[in-house]
Amino acid sequence: MSVEELYEKGFELRCDGRYDEARAIFSQVLGSNPSHANAKWQIGLIQCFVGEFDESIATLQEVVDANPNHIKARYDLAQTQMMLGMMDEACANFKEVLNQDPGHEEANRQIIYCP
């Protein structure tokens, strides 16, 4: 299987709630391609879904630091930060999402909670 086929398999597993299997696949993708931003992003989402909030923030921040234009990862980072009460950080990330994509519907809905 190619790296992208593995990624797609991991994505399907994540969508099915099979987080351990999905994480293993995404780790395999990263083993083949350490800079695969989407695989790392998916691991960050899984970490959040299973309650590993500190790890999720760290992983999503790594994705955003390495890929500043990864709007999906930045939005998910902002959502996680907001959920954890990190309002300043969340608002800064929502604002950056909207700076990059002014029509981002979800970020436009969340920004109303920001000063």
Tens of each residue's pLDDT in the chain, 115 residues = 899 999 999 999 999 999 999 999 999 999 999 999 999 999 999 999 999 999 999 999 999 999 999 999 999 999 999 999 999 999 999 999 999 999 999 999 999 999 8
Residue 86: left (phi > 0), alpha (psi -120 to 50), or beta?
A: beta
* Distance of alpha carbon 32 from the chain centroid: 20
Domain count, the chain: 1
pTM: 0.95
- Torsion, Cα 89 93 99 105, to 10 degrees, reads -120
Q: How far apart are CA 115 and CA 71, in angstroms?
A: 21
25: containing domain: 3-113
Q: What is the CATH number for 35?
A: 1.25.40.10
